Structure 1
């Protein structure tokens, strides 16, 4: 409930509490001021003052009830119905003595819906109050001529009809207010549940990132083992073989030839070792964001391999979470490495796209291509090459798609969620 709604409710409460006092006071003042217009007997005077005093006592009792028992004094009940009936009877008797007490009788218009249970009972209470007020407006009870009865009937119809219409509108407004409050409460519950879900999702996402880091460490160990086995170990084996030939060479020319081969293998193995160590951690991301790091990586790869390579960014650039940036950079490095080793491409294009809640990395080449279904399955967990790139993407709730055909190049597409930097 808003502050304005609370202020309106407080003013209604003040009107229901102090309104009957005010109307009774106005009636008494007008009755005294107009006493010269009526020929009151002593019995009528004493009866009027006694009834006015009884009305004041009734109001004081009900006021105390409202203060001590708000649930009983502010909601329809039998006690409220009894209070309404007694007040109406006192107002009717006072109006019979002096028509100006119709002001006090009009207090029945204010709180019938608050005191009397049920729509039928409320309508009956309003009609009874209209009878008293219309009788006073017609000249006061009892009537002395037929014209007063005609006037009374017209005033009764006008008063009761107006009050019934107002009561109906108030009931509709109360119903709309109730429905509005119920809708607001439901929206608040929904918002609370949504916030809880968002908090749980954030916690789960943080947990997934931690697991991704841990899995990434294990993946790097496997990758480094594969690098050592596939490059450095093989290079060292080749060097040993060349040196063995040199040891048994019969002439200097043969020995020099094999020494040159051993030297070339050593330099190649050293380069592979440096590359493997470099890829242990995304050094390129230490000072640059992912777009800048990818741009430099693609440019350096193109210079090293002699292949024409281009890099493009589409969409609104976002500062990504470190784990997301590292994953996409590693996938790009692995894809470029595969292109250099196997594709025999003359052109490679890398595109980084920011699309709403996703980030997409596309690597395309015009190389010799391959049949993805004909690739041998890797054993062990994770694997290398395509398996490794796919595992990297899946660890951050992403995916990797491969499209290739012999003689028609290869296209890789890694899609991962756009998680912003904290």
Structure 2
């Protein structure tokens, strides 16, 4: 708002400096013409008319030239000197023409350099003092004394006008420098905004690509934990049907295969839609793990026990889903590779973290010689670790040939909001 007021004031002063000389010249000419029969001779009237035309021509010339010139240009000095001389000559013919000379007080600082501005103001003071003391030249000693006194007043006024003008000019230069600096700052800001927009677009692209990669990894892990494990279970049950001689036993295996197919289909649909495991839809983590262990034990034909230690409490959905998926993967690995007779699953609620331990008494293996993922056909330990690390957790493995396997997953205890 302050900048708007400054700009408005500058516009008003600009209009005054452009049209003020025309107005003062017209006013001085009108009043002088009205008093000419009393104050001027016929020859003086003719001379004044010629000087008026010259002053008008000078103003027209300056009005066309001024917008294209810098401050304190040589042409500005010529204009000021010629106008001052014409105003002095007109005031000599008729003191009332000094109205036109007043303009010299306003634009001396704008048109003249600092070393000449005071001289221009004093020249204007001579013209006005002469007109106000009765005209030039004074005709008596009293007239000269009166001229000297009035000139002293005008000299003091010119000094005041000069100081005010210099201060205004300094403020104008400071404002111009400030505006120029603001323009440079705005230009740098616009450049920075353009660069930031480019960086933001690049970051958005990278975030989108990272999101796509993360979603691919999530879907791959979910498919492995649902469809792949379900199909493996179905194959196991169908193989049991082929080997069964008792019709009732074969029928039970077929029912288990059908149940696994339906369960895997539902989990696959939930995975595609980014939902949590179906086992957690109606049960908390402890109960969901208990059912998962029981179902796995019946399906795999391996004795399995589930234990909860500590005070159970509702956890964040992502924490529960991660621990359940790790348990499913660990049990699936035990069924495929360990040849275990007993499996123990323990869920422990501790201060600040939750631990899931899956132990078996199977054949074990050397952890330093794990098969690559392409050979094992699944995500295995790497998938479990990736799930835990997304939650700032860890997965540790302990195993040795003939000594069974123990998998321990630790994640922060984040309560359900």
**TM score, norm. by length of structure 2:** 0.61
**2:332 matched to which residue of 1?**
none
Q: Distance in 2 between matches of 1:159 and 1:379?
A: 102
- CA drift at 1:62: 1.4
Aligned CA distance change for structure 1 residues 206 and 84 (closer, same or farther; 3 Å)? closer
1:240 equivalenced with 2:216 (yes/no): no
**2:148 matched to which residue of 1?**
153
- CA drift at 1:25: 0.7
Query: Larger C-alpha radius of gyration, 1 or 2?
Result: 2
1:339 to 319, 323, 328: 323
1:402 equivalenced with 2:392 (yes/no): yes
- CA drift at 1:210: 4.8
Q: Distance in 1 between matches of 2:122 and 2:133?
A: 16
Aligned CA distance change for structure 1 residues 389 and 7 (closer, same or farther; 3 Å)? farther
1:11 equivalenced with 2:15 (yes/no): yes
1:271 equivalenced with 2:263 (yes/no): yes
1:24 to 22, 28, 32: 28
Secondary structure at 1:69 match in 2: helix
What count of residue pairs does the alignment treat as equivalent? 337
Task: Decide whether the 8 Å contact of 1:369 with 1:410 is kept in 2.
Answer: no
Task: Decide whether the 8 Å contact of 2:28 with 2:99 is kept in 1.
Answer: yes
1:52 to 48, 66, 71: 48
1:104 equivalenced with 2:94 (yes/no): no
Q: Distance in 2 between matches of 1:230 and 1:157?
A: 105
Task: Decide whether the 8 Å contact of 1:98 with 1:140 is kept in 2.
Answer: yes
Task: Decide whether the 8 Å contact of 2:354 with 2:413 is kept in 1.
Answer: no
- CA drift at 1:109: 2.0
**1:416 matched to which residue of 2?**
none
Task: Decide whether the 8 Å contact of 1:223 with 1:384 is kept in 2.
Answer: no
Aligned CA distance change for structure 1 residues 181 and 279 (closer, same or farther; 3 Å)? farther
Task: Decide whether the 8 Å contact of 1:66 with 1:73 is kept in 2.
Answer: no
**1:280 matched to which residue of 2?**
272
Aligned CA distance change for structure 1 residues 388 and 34 (closer, same or farther; 3 Å)? farther
1:127 equivalenced with 2:122 (yes/no): yes
Q: Distance in 2 between matches of 1:16 and 1:249?
A: 117
Q: Distance in 1 between matches of 2:413 and 2:183?
A: 48
Q: Distance in 2 between matches of 1:59 and 1:365?
A: 94
Aligned CA distance change for structure 1 residues 160 and 168 (closer, same or farther; 3 Å)? same
- CA drift at 1:408: 8.1
Secondary structure at 2:134 match in 1: coil
1:180 equivalenced with 2:167 (yes/no): no
Task: Decide whether the 8 Å contact of 2:234 with 2:261 is kept in 1.
Answer: no
Q: Distance in 1 between matches of 2:35 and 2:278?
A: 103
Q: Distance in 2 between matches of 1:183 and 1:298?
A: 64
Secondary structure at 1:303 match in 2: coil
Q: Distance in 2 between matches of 1:185 and 1:192?
A: 10
**1:224 matched to which residue of 2?**
219
- CA drift at 1:162: 1.9
**1:367 matched to which residue of 2?**
354
Aligned CA distance change for structure 1 residues 262 and 49 (closer, same or farther; 3 Å)? same
Which string of whole-angstrom CA distances, capped at 9 and with x for unpartnered residues, describes residues 334-358 of structure 1? x44213345866889xxxxxxxxxx
